[in-house]
Amino acid sequence: MSLLVRVAEVTDETHQIRTLRLIREDGAPFGPYEAGAHIDVTGPTGVLRQYSLCGPPDDPASLLIAVKREPRSRGGSAALHQVAPGDSLEIGEPRNLLSLAEEAERYVLVAGGIGITPLLSVAYALHSRGAEFELHYFARSRQEAAFVELLETRSEFSDRVRFHLGVPRGEQPELFAAMAAAATPACHVYTCGPQGFMARVTSVFTPVVGEDQVHVEHFVAAQVDTSCDHAFTVELDTGEVFEVPAGKSILAVLEEGGIDVFKSCEEGICGSCVSGILDGVADHRDNCLSAADKASGTQIALCVSRARSDKLVIELY
């Protein structure tokens, strides 16, 4: 369901990153959302993109997103860097792929660059819970790091944040190893940032806390070799059957067959098209399902993932 909102405030966090504070056009409050959630935002050019919510999750007055202007923007981030207070936007309902574990001895948050955005809302939520956590923030420089003043001055963050500014990439693994050495198997780790950054965090912490307790938020689609793709059959729980050729996604085939499927990014990031698997084995190619979700064999992202088996039986959520 889409919702019209108005830009109430614009703040330039860095020369590339600005925050937009959004309020409802009808003046009503927002409902609470889970920490780590993101929303679809349709900007002035009609381009739809996903942005993490980075304000306090229990604040009903407004939603806060941070937009980094990408040098190769195709009309998404560039357009949102032109909006001004009073402009209207269309957003979707908050969706969460980075849910907080209910019980952990300690939470370790590791952000790289713009990856601070979902982890900021996670930090707000952990403070509200009275949970033990630390937030490590890596950025090229202080000038390129968003929310520095907020993180330094807000009491809920000031003694929990460790800044790592200007650390060369080659020196990052040593810092990750030091963090992991202080962790225990009862810790949960949350990370967001560039792909390589998250891969390094994951590789260091996984042997300590386990794969299921390292939680990753992706901003870009995974790169997959499609040269060995094969055709397979998809059957819906209604009994309808579709043939999926090598060159098309399950989502595309279902839509061509007149099936209405909820979708958004179509890159395996946002999780909007995730559906249930009743039978068969998926070839997971998304960046939205967790390792535990994939291992369970009960869900699939229809926009990018395929089948290892000759047939999948699915139910649409």
Show the tokens assigned to 234. Answer: 């998809």
Mean pLDDT (the chain, rounded):
91
Question: What pLDDT is recorded for position 61?
Answer: 95
Neighbours of 220 (CB within 10 A): 11
pLDDT at 284 exceeding the cut of 90: yes
The CATH number assigned to the domain holding 182 equals 3.40.50.80
The bridge status of strand 38-42 relative to strand 88-91 is antiparallel
**Residue of 13, 52, 11 lying closest to 144 (CA atoms):** 13
106-130 burial: b if 16+ Cβ within 10 Å, else e: bbbbbbbbbbbbbbbbbbbbbbeee
**Is 226 part of any domain?**
no
Long-range contacts made by residues 240-248, C-beta under 8 angstroms, separation at least 24? 244/306, 244/307
165 in any annotated domain = yes
> Is 15's pLDDT higher than 90?
yes
Q: Which two tokens stand for residue 214?
A: 């390292």
* Segment 61-74 mean pLDDT: 84
- Average pLDDT over every residue of 295-300: 93
State whether 273 and 300 are in the same domain: yes
Number of domains, the chain: 3
Q: Do 181 and 111 share a structural domain?
A: yes
pLDDT of residue 73: 54
CB atoms under 10 Å from CB of 142, counted, come to: 11
Q: Are residues 137 and 213 in the same domain?
A: yes
Q: What percent of the chain has pLDDT over 90?
A: 74
100 in a structural domain: no
Report pLDDT digits (tens) over 201-210: 999 999 999 9
Same-domain pairing of 266 and 190 = no
Whether 99 is in a domain gets the answer no
All residues at 6 or more sequence positions from 99 whose CB lies less than 8 Å from its CB, including other chains: 34, 36
Domain coverage including residue 259: 232-315
